Amino acid sequence: MKKVLTYGTYDLLHYGHFRLLKRAKELGDHLTVAISTDEFNLIKGKKCVQPYGHRAEIIKAIRYVDEVIPENSWEQKINDIREHNINVFVMGCDWKGKFDYLEQYRKVLYLDRTDDISTTTLKNHLKSIQNIQKDINQ
42-54: string of b/e by CB count within 10 Å (b at 16+)? Answer: eeeeeebebebee
Among residues 9, 52, 81, 108, the one that binds ligand C2G under rule CB under 6 A = 9
Find, among 31, 30, 39, 36, the residue nearest to 8 by Cα.
36
In the chain the first and final C-alpha atoms are separated, in Å, by 59
7 binds ligand C2G (CB under 6 A): yes
Give the residue numbers annotated as catalytic, written as ranges: 44, 46
36 binds ligand C2G (CB under 6 A): yes
17 binds ligand C2G (CB under 6 A): yes
Interacting residue ranges for ligand C2G, rule: CB under 6 A = 7-10, 16-17, 20, 36, 46, 71, 91-92, 94, 113-114, 117-118
